[in-house]
């Protein structure tokens, strides 16, 4: 259950709309920084930030997003003035500081789902959450027309949770070519493999942001062992 909630929370961060300067409670503040792009910055550069509000400090890791751009994404859960300071193994990214204002959440923004009263679920603002789910395993890997059709269909239902895979699925119904090249074969530590992973990640996170207006939460299936996609070398 704990893993499920963590994955649902991660999805909510992707889907919740990204802002800067003034950020709505339970939305996402994104810090974009320019830094080194030589060698393999995906694994060679460490980046994080401490976000502070009153007497609280929240640690958040960043990541390299390609093309010399680094990002840190953080969800503020209290209205007020937040400050942040970065920490990095790179001098270009270290000790960057700033502030942003977190405004109270809007009526239809209840925040991420969590365990409530031990045995049930609730949103962060204590609104009850009664999961009614379906499966949309590989919808993020389908062509744009089918993605939009999926979102439109979900919006007409009462579902508030979907179960989905991060990697593609080898089903007969999924005959479409993947819109983004995946890793292929054995994972390598070279820059090309990391660039492919980043491109795929951008595609998936972009799909997630499209779901913000559906108010549907997702449970990720991170790995589906034992099956390999032909011509892609991807174990799922």
Same domain assignment for residues 65 and 89 = yes
Is 11 part of a structural domain of the chain?
A: no
Same domain assignment for residues 137 and 202 = yes
The CATH number for 123's domain is 3.20.20.80
Is 211 part of a structural domain of the chain?
A: yes
75-79, 100-104, 208-212: lowest mean pLDDT where? 208-212
The DSSP bridge partners found for residue 121 are: 115, 129
> How, if at all, do strands 28-34 and 18-19 pair?
parallel
Which residue, 59, 78, 103, sits at the end of a domain?
103
Same domain assignment for residues 151 and 87 = no
**pLDDT range class, residue 166, cuts 50, 70, 90:** confident
The whole-model pTM stands at 0.74
Which residue, 45, 72, 103, sits at the end of a domain?
103
Nearby residues of 134 by Cβ (< 8 Å), 6 or more positions away:
154, 157, 159, 161, 162, 163
Is 197 part of a structural domain of the chain?
A: yes
Q: CA separation (Å) from 165 to 7, 83, 141? A: 12, 35, 10
Domain interval for residue 200: 113-235
Q: Which residue has the higher pLDDT, 93 or 207?
A: 93
Which residue, 45, 79, 103, sits at the end of a domain?
103
Nearby residues of 110 by Cβ (< 8 Å), 6 or more positions away:
26, 123, 124, 125, 127, 129
> How, if at all, do strands 120-123 and 28-34 pair?
unpaired
Number of separate domains in the chain: 2
Give the model's pLDDT for residue 8: 47
Same domain assignment for residues 65 and 124 = no
């Amino acid at each position: 259950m704990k893993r499920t909630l963590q994955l649902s929370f991660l999805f909510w961060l992707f889907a919740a709309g990204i802002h800067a300067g003034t950020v709505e409670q339970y939305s996402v503040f994104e810090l974009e920084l320019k830094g080194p792009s030589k060698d393999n910055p995906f694994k060679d550069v460490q980046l994080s930030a401490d976000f502070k509000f009153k007497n609280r400090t929240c640690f958040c890791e960043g990541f390299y997003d390609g093309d010399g751009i680094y990002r840190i994404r953080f969800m503020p859960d209290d209205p007020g003035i937040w400050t942040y300071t970065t920490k990095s193994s790179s001098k270009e990214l270290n000790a960057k500081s700033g502030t942003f204002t977190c405004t109270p959440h809007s009526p239809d923004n209840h925040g991420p789902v969590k365990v409530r009263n031990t045995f049930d679920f609730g949103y962060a603002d204590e609104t009850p959450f009664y999961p009614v789910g379906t499966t949309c395993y590989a919808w993020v890997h389908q062509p744009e027309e089918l993605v939009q059709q999926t979102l439109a269909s979900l919006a007409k239902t009462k579902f508030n949770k979907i179960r989905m895979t991060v990697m593609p699925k080898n089903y007969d119904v999924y005959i479409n070519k993947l819109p983004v090249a995946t890793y292929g074969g054995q994972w390598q530590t070279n820059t090309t493999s990391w660039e492919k992973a980043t491109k795929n990640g951008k595609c998936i996170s972009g799909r997630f942001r499209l779901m913000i207006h559906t108010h549907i939460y997702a449970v990720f299936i991170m790995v589906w062992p034992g099956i390999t996609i032909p011509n892609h070398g991807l174990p799922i």
